Chain A
Amino acid sequence: MNRSTQLLAATAIVAASSASATELEVMHWWTSGGEAAAVQEFAAAFNATGNTWVDAAIAGGESARAVMVSRLTGGDPMGAFQFNHGRQAEELIEAGLLRDITDIAEAEGWKDIVNPSTLLDACTVDGRIYCAPVNIHSWQWLWVSHKAFEDVGLSVPTNWNEFVGASQALADAGKTPLAMGQQGWQQSGAFNVMFAALVPSEIYLAVYGDKNAEVAAGPEVARVFAAAADARDMAATSTVQNWNDATNLVITGQAGGQIMGDWAQGEFAVAEQVAGQDYSCLPGLGVTELLGTGGDAFYFPVLSDDAQIAAQSELAALMLKPETQVAFNLKKGSLPVRGDIDLSSANDCMQKGLALLADGALLPDTNMLLTSDTTNQINTLFTEFFADASISAADAQADFVKIISRAE
């Protein structure tokens, strides 16, 4: 009797103390050096509000998304989770699993500060806002190693064509001209970058936006596939898997360059490389300077615990505050979602990105245009294409047309 009273008292104390500092489990897939440093900024800012950030990081976007979705649909929601905003979350919203945060967005005036406004549109379903965009990530970058080109006595290329031209010299010197991780999303990502940069934007929008199979079968897209075949030859000796391992090949000068999104910048920063001196970044492969406006956003599942709901609101508002935006994006190498903050401390590459953002040289990200099903099929196609040099560009294009004609 006495013991059970003690036990009850102890339980009450534990319950009371957990109410004052709410623990919020936040899931994300930011695990590489630069990414972990960036997410730490969010965690620190959130902890400073008196709440506790419980970090639940899962390496690899694909496996992380699978875990998140199964936890949500299985009725075991976390406090908040990172997602690429766009069509991936559509069905979760339709099923009523995600919290409507329109009230927070209105209180914080997100409509006026989020730039470009398409970011918030991607979070909006039927006029209601369901996610907090935290950064802008663009895929369309070519990262070039100065060391690799110095080693073979060539000048650093300024666009894709020069880069392809120099590839033989790099290969002869025993270097990998193009570093590429052997994962479908990286390979199809590189293809989409070439697609965005090497042909006019109308073609890109007709194929991915309108799902026009005729355009997908046309000569412009054939040019992109020819470029992808070049990239395949250049990446033939690249056996790494993870994108950051591939970036490391560029950092150490073992590879000439890598097509990768601006998150690669965080890796260069961790390795203390200086933009313009140790490496160059070429937006739009240096051919058509434009940026895709993909990015990361945080979604908040519907919860029943009031303390947790309050903590969610606090976190959502916090993520778009100017100080957090600056701290987070400088570490992450991405662009902030608000145009009204000072980023003069940003480096060369980020300044290029900011300038393009200001000019409005923008393109919607594939995540906003395609369903995960279509994206997955395209990833598989390029996994095959890059692994097997016997698949011709024309055959791959035929498969691509089939995928586009089936896409919703």
Chain B
Amino acid sequence: MASTRPNQLFRNKSAKIAAIPMIVTALFVFVGGTAWTIVYSFTSSGLLPRLKWVGLDQYERLWDTRKWLVSIENLAIYGLSMLVLVFVIGFILAALLDQKIRFENTIRTVILYPYALSFVVTGLVWQWILNPEFGVQNIVRGWGWETFTFDPLYNAEIAIFGILIAGLWQGSGLVMVLMLAGLRGIDQDVWKAARVDGIPAWKTYLFIVIPMMRPVFITTLVLVVTGIVKIYDLIVAQTGGGPGIATEVPAKYVYDMMFQANNLGQGFAASTMMLVTVALVVIPWAFLEFGGSKNRG
């Protein structure tokens, strides 16, 4: 094999040539665009980008703006709740569907269906459901419970949970399907062995099946987390950031700054902070995940 080593670069030539457009795109569009954004976040760019340096002014203003602080807080609340709940709900639904029940296909389709809707539709649907005059509150009051109050979107304290309900409704189906696929990938012999040993079903799930489903969990985690960080359209459709600024999120702050306030510099500073946040989570995880596997391999 030593003779082929110098030609390592030219091995699989056609595959490498085919990958060039993708590599160029990745470098120029993603890396280049990111670098450009970071550079311009230190300028006073307004409607159009211009290289007039202002140092850290944009960042100072960013962290002095209540709308941004509220956005970060909302993303943290929404993100953590979403992450935990969507996995719990998705897995439980998948485990229930995995009991060889009748009409599995129908039920699976029904639960996955919300995922086929755009966030805009989801947002509007839940805006109406949670509207005190037309939605749930009105129906329950119609049943005779006159004092029933359920108007999360009109109460600044809990409005973000109104968004969370809609997000869960849409996202749980996808997690369920992925989990179900993972569960089906578990060898039936594992279950039989566990049953022979007399291990209760919940323990089998928790200590045998779930650890075996690690790859599925990682895939699902990546999908869910990216969905959380980029959340924007659901907010715009459901609350528009209101009441007041109670449901603002970072992505919306970036959009508002860049396209409504015509302040690109501030928008770039905010998006750079979003990138830093994501990097803080992803880089240590990537080291653990890939660095670890290299040692094992």
A377 to B242, CA, bound (A): 15
- Check if B46 sits within 8 Å of A376, measured CB to CB: no
* B-contact bits for A29-66, CB 8 A (1 contact / 0 none): 00000000000000000000000000000000010011
- Check if A373 sits within 8 Å of B259, measured CB to CB: no
- CB of B227 within 8 Å of the partner chain: no
Which residue of chain B lies nearest to A65 when distances are taken between CB atoms in the complex? B260
- Check if B259 sits within 8 Å of A387, measured CB to CB: no
- Check if A386 sits within 8 Å of B244, measured CB to CB: yes
Number of interface residues of B (CB under 8 A): 23
* B-contact bits for A352-373, CB 8 A (1 contact / 0 none): 0000000000000000000111
Min CB distance B152 to A, Å, is 14
A residues in contact with B66, CB < 8 Å: 384, 399
Min CB distance B268 to A, Å, is 14
- Check if B244 sits within 8 Å of A376, measured CB to CB: no
- Check if B262 sits within 8 Å of A387, measured CB to CB: no
Interface of chain A: mostly helix, strand, loop or mixed: helix
- Check if A377 sits within 8 Å of B48, measured CB to CB: no
A residues in contact with B263, CB < 8 Å: 372-373, 376
A residues in contact with B256, CB < 8 Å: 376
A297 to B257, CA, bound (A): 24
Min CB distance A131 to B, Å, is 16
A residues in contact with B16, CB < 8 Å: none
- Check if A62 sits within 8 Å of B48, measured CB to CB: no
- Check if A387 sits within 8 Å of B244, measured CB to CB: yes
- CB of B243 within 8 Å of the partner chain: yes
- Scoring B61, B256, B260 by chain A CB atoms within 10 A of each residue's CB, the highest score goes to B260
- CB of B245 within 8 Å of the partner chain: yes
Binding site for B on A (CB under 8 A): 62, 65-66, 69-70, 73, 88, 91-92, 95, 182-183, 239, 241, 371-373, 375-377, 380, 383-384, 386-388, 399, 406
Binding site for A on B (CB under 8 A): 46-48, 61, 66-67, 154, 156, 240-246, 256-257, 259-263, 266
A-B contact pairs, 5 of them (CB 8 A): A69-B47, A183-B240, A239-B154, A372-B262, A387-B156
Q: What are the 6 tightest A-B residue pairs by CB atom distance, in nearest-first order? A: A387-B244, A66-B259, A376-B261, A91-B47, A372-B262, A387-B243
Given A70-B259, A376-B261, A388-B156, 15 further pairs, Cβ under 8 A: A62-B260, A66-B259, A69-B259, A91-B47, A95-B48, A372-B47, A372-B262, A373-B46, A373-B262, A373-B266, A375-B261, A376-B260, A380-B67, A386-B244, A387-B156
